[in-house]
Amino acid sequence: MLRRGMLVLALGGLLGLGACSSVSYYAQAAHGQFSLLAQARPLDDWLADPATQPVLKAKLQTVQEIRRFAVVELGLPDNGSYRSYAQLDRPFVLWNVVAAPELSLKARQWCFPIAGCVDYRGYYSQQAAQDYAAALQREGYDVQVAGVPAYSTLGWFDDPVISTFIQYPDGELARLIFHELAHQTVYARDDTPFNEGFAVAVEELGLERWLAARHDSALTEAYQRYAQRKREFLALLDKYRAQLKDNYDSDASDAVKRERKAAIFAALRAEYATIKSTRWNGYAGYDRWFAMPLSNAHLALVGAYHDMVPAFRRLFENSRGFPDFYDKVRRLARMDKPARHAALGDAPLTTGKAAPETFPTDTIGQPKRNAGGYHPG
């Protein structure tokens, strides 16, 4: 496994220095990670095993094709990640806790020695995540606990394919693998919007090329329908995120803000029901997002995954292919955060080509995946 001993030492140092709560948290993170790795077997072993179900074999073969495409066509890391498979006995590999103040959309941050500061905290136990979320609620935070199907360890380990996402449609499977490998390519500490914007841009660019190479019109049309629903869902969230921000930034009393907040979330839920019944023919893929009471925590990370994607796509259009694009993003990642955002948003590095006037907006990533203090995808 990649640099496994180094990460063990890093975790060991933390356990020696932290408070009791930190010891418990990092212990569960280390145990969860090593337990996952212990269950992983090479894809070829699963494919050669007569006990492996044909449906699973077909999916694992698709993963191998996606993995080759990622290296050859997208220039993503040619390492041990996504070349093994782990069968888990739970629906998610871990659970993320996201928190935001009662009258703000700014997510609370947690800081870790490997990933830096991020806007979520992951647990390999759903009960542990819920217990921590309950403690935050007692402090007055809006909280969401969300199941996570996949995450990236940023190359510290050979991340396996997991049963929690192997049955995704082929387009979603490719998108997810491209996204997670992008995190192994470039990562800037303490900058979730930059990291997620880059990974979402890579997943979109990669998926467009992967679908074109498949020459499968049915697969492409199915994914286009999925992507259109995702665009409409994100537009819906952006609409109500803006209303909430206006409310919280207003001069109204806290009592009035709370009333408006409740009304805005009720309107969001009602409009979703209308879209689902009138435009999506009852498609229920987002029902789980609405299953619990809505709060600021549900919307706190939406912008982190999508706001910077157009700028990254513009930077790609001004690049000579993927290696040149990655080199430019690495140079940005070495800047301090304000300079990085200014350079990406206002003056992207160019190769002499004119920047396009408009940018694709089919942002299809979603808040997800965090590695108990390592790094979310």
For residue 358, is it within any domain?
Answer: no
For residue 24, is it within any domain?
Answer: yes
For residue 266, is it within any domain?
Answer: yes
User: Burial of 226 by CB count in 10 Å (0-12 exposed, 13-18 middle, 19+ buried)?
Assistant: middle
Same domain, 133 and 256: no
- Beta-carbon contacts of 9 under 8 Å, excluding residues fewer than 6 positions away, are none
Over the stretch 69-102, which tens digit does the pLDDT of each residue have? 999 999 999 999 999 999 999 999 999 999 999 9
Last residue within a domain, chosen from 304, 325, 359: 304
| DSSP E strand boundaries for the chain | 40-42, 84-86, 94-100, 110-112, 116-118, 121-123, 142-148, 161-162
Instruction: Print the domain residue range for 151.
Output: 4-61+76-177
Last residue within a domain, chosen from 156, 177, 198: 177
Same domain, 290 and 224: yes
Q: Whole-angstrom Cα distance, residue 68 to residue 44?
A: 14
For residue 309, is it within any domain?
Answer: no
123, 371 in Cβ contact below 8 A?
A: no
CA distances from 218 to 17, 110, 178, 225 (A): 55, 43, 21, 11
Same domain, 85 and 10: yes
For residue 313, is it within any domain?
Answer: no
Instruction: Give, as one character, the DSSP assignment of residue 290.
Output: G
Same domain, 254 and 143: no
Same domain, 109 and 248: no
For residue 173, is it within any domain?
Answer: yes
Same domain, 171 and 245: no
Same domain, 170 and 222: no
Structure tokens at 251: 């001069």
- Identify the CA nearest to 145 among candidates 127, 124, 129: 129
Q: Tell how strand 161-162 and strand 121-123 pair up.
A: unpaired
- Identify the CA nearest to 211 among candidates 69, 365, 4, 371: 69
Structure tokens at 280: 């999506």
> Which backbone phi and psi does 323 adopt, to 5 degrees?
-60, -40
Same domain, 250 and 159: no
Cα 263 to its chain centre, rounded Å, is: 29
Cα 96 to its chain centre, rounded Å, is: 11
**Residue pointed to by tokens 């699963």:** 46
- Identify the CA nearest to 171 among candidates 78, 93, 59, 287: 59
Same domain, 237 and 113: no
Same domain, 16 and 149: yes
| Amino acid in position 305 | Y
| Number of separate domains in the chain | 2
Same domain, 139 and 225: no
Last residue within a domain, chosen from 289, 304, 319: 304
For residue 372, is it within any domain?
Answer: no
**Residue pointed to by tokens 């001004």:** 318
- Beta-carbon contacts of 107 under 8 Å, excluding residues fewer than 6 positions away, are 98, 99, 100, 119, 120, 297, 300, 301, 304
For residue 334, is it within any domain?
Answer: no
Same domain, 19 and 166: yes
Measured in residues, the chain has a length of: 377
The tens place of each residue's pLDDT in the chain, 377 residues long, gives 333 333 333 343 333 334 456 788 888 999 999 999 999 999 999 999 999 999 999 999 999 999 999 999 999 999 999 999 999 999 999 999 999 999 999 999 998 876 788 889 999 999 999 999 999 999 999 999 999 999 889 888 999 999 999 999 999 999 999 999 999 999 999 998 999 999 999 999 999 999 999 999 999 998 889 889 989 999 999 999 999 999 999 999 999 999 999 999 999 999 999 999 999 999 999 998 998 889 999 998 887 778 899 999 999 999 999 999 999 999 999 999 999 999 997 433 333 332 222 222 222 223 343 333 333 33
346, 332 in Cβ contact below 8 A?
A: no
Over the stretch 181-198, which tens digit does the pLDDT of each residue have? 999 999 999 998 999 999
